[in-house]
Structure 1
Amino acid sequence: MNKQRGFLLIEVLIAVVIITIAVTAAASLLMQSVKSNISAGKYTVAASLAQKQLEYLKSRSTAVAWNQLTIPETGEVKLGADWQSEANNTVLLNNTTYTLASLASKCPEDSADLVQIRVVVAWSRNSDDNIEMTAVFSKR
């Protein structure tokens, strides 16, 4: 009697199915990781642009400049191009267009010497992705 040991076709098919499932799961995990890294990179760039804009406003803030700005009692006013650190309020980095908006409002503490600035950076086509930073500046 010849006792030959080998693999049956069904065993090979089961092994192929198991390996296929494992490779598909690993590829899916890799794709999700890449998407998360891209998204995190965009949030980091947006936060950096918002911080840059706040620093620009801080360096620009003088009593004369703030007193020339008319801020309504309620609501916000969008700061014009001369208050922006970037031309046209847009920046193109890594094939992504970031749009900056700086908004001024009265400080919630009702101090006449303070102005609240909110910087919004958006970067998707429908503006769902955005980051906001708020700072309070003295008019003096």
Structure 2
Amino acid sequence: MMSRRKGNRGFILADVALGLFIICTSLLCISILFTQALQLEKIAGDYTVATNLAQKQLELLKNRSPVYWAELQLPCAIPWEDERFLPPAGYKLTTYAVASACGSQLVQVTVNITWQELQKDYSIHLVTFYSKIN
């Protein structure tokens, strides 16, 4: 019986070492994925802020009358419409209007939002059309 235990001593040590290796490797992989998920969460939040800014600009422009769109000299840049709240620091908003290729009574408006995160440039573009007539 004693010789049997003595012969298994090396196998138990190898099993423990293999188990520790698997656990350490798994924890390392999980920590890398967790770090990556946190970075992607920040970028997703930035996309949400940028999309909300662009949507707000388009909603404010929607309140403009068709006369405004008819008298607008195209192509042109349009400034940020909300005087009370400026876009957050780090986000650059540009809005421009051009004559639509879809019809002479439409104005194509594009809102571009750009920002930088983790030394990489990101941007979104929202496009809509406004009518020159009622």
Fold shared per TM-score above 0.5: yes
Task: Give distance in 2, aligned partners of 1:50 and 1:61.
Answer: 19
- Counterpart pick for 1:128 among 121, 127, 130: 121
Alignment of 1:1-140 (within 5 A): 2=2, 3=5, 8-63=12-67, 65-71=68-74, 76-79=75-78, 81=79, 84-86=80-82, 91-92=87-88, 97-111=90-104, 113-124=105-116, 128-140=121-133
- Structure 1: gaps spanning 5 or more residues: none
Task: Give distance in 2, aligned partners of 1:119 and 1:129.
Answer: 14
Choose 1 or 2 for highest CA Rg: 2
Greater helix share, 1 or 2? 2
Contact kept in structure 2, 1:105 and 1:116, CA below 8 Å: yes
Q: TM-score if structure 1 supplies the norm length?
A: 0.74
Contact kept in structure 1, 2:112 and 2:125, CA below 8 Å: yes
Contact kept in structure 1, 2:60 and 2:82, CA below 8 Å: no
Q: How far did 1:78 drift?
A: 1.6
Task: Give distance in 1, aligned partners of 2:21 and 2:120.
Answer: 43
- How many residues of Structure 1 are paired with residues of Structure 2 in the alignment? 127
- Structure 2: gaps spanning 5 or more residues: none
Q: TM-score if structure 2 supplies the norm length?
A: 0.77
RMSD: 2.7
Identity among equivalent pairs (%):
31
Cα shift readout 1:107-135 (whole Å, capped 9, x = no counterpart): 11241x22110001111177731111111
Q: How far did 1:17 drift?
A: 1.6
Contact kept in structure 2, 1:122 and 1:128, CA below 8 Å: yes
